[in-house]
Chain A
Amino acid sequence: MLPSRFFRPFIATWLILLAPTSWAATTLVAVASDFTKPMTEIAAAFEKATGHSAKLSFGSSGKAFAQIQSGAPFEVYLSASEKYPLELEKTGFTVSDTHFVYAIGKLVLWSAMPGYVDDQGKILTTGNFKHVALADPAHAPYGVVAEDVMKSLGVLDKLRPLFVMGENISQTYQFVSTGNAELGFVGLAQVIDVNNGKIGSGSGWIIPDNLHSPFRQMAVLLKTGAENPAALALVDFLKSPTALAIIEKYGFGLPK
Chain B
Amino acid sequence: MLSPSDLETLVLTFKVASIATAMMLLIGTPLAWWLARTHSGWKGIINAVVALPLVLPPTVLGFYLLVLMGPAGAVGKFTSWLGLGTLPFTFTGLVIASVLYSMPFVVQPLQASFTTIGEQPLEAAATLRASPLDTFFSVIIPLAKPGFLTASILGFAHTVGEFGVVLMVGGNIPGKTRVVSVQIYNHVEALEYSEAHWLAGCLLLFSFTVLIILYTVLKTQPVAHQLK
Contacts and interface: CB of A to CB of B under 8 A. Distances in A.
Residues of B contacting A: mostly: loop
Given A178-B70, A179-B70, A180-B88, A167 B189 contact: yes
Interface stretch (A33-41, A58-66, A246-254): A58-66
A220 to B, nearest CB: 17
B50 interface: no
Contacts, number: 64
Interface residues of B, number: 23
A43 B72 CA distance: 35
A167 B183 CA distance: 11
A139 B189 contact: yes
B168 A180 contact: no
Interface residues of A, number: 24
B152 interface: no
B67 A136 contact: no
Given A130-B85, A164-B89, A178 B72 contact: yes
Contacts of B190: 62, 138-139
Interface string A58-80: 00101101100000000000000
B89 A181 contact: yes
B186 A139 contact: yes
Given A62-B189, A138-B186, A180-B88, A164 B71 contact: no
Given A138-B186, A139-B186, A167-B167, A66 B191 contact: yes
Complex A-B, nearest 10 residue pairs according to Cβ-Cβ distance, in ascending order = A164-B171, A139-B189, A165-B172, A179-B71, A178-B70, A180-B88, A139-B190, A62-B189, A180-B70, A138-B190
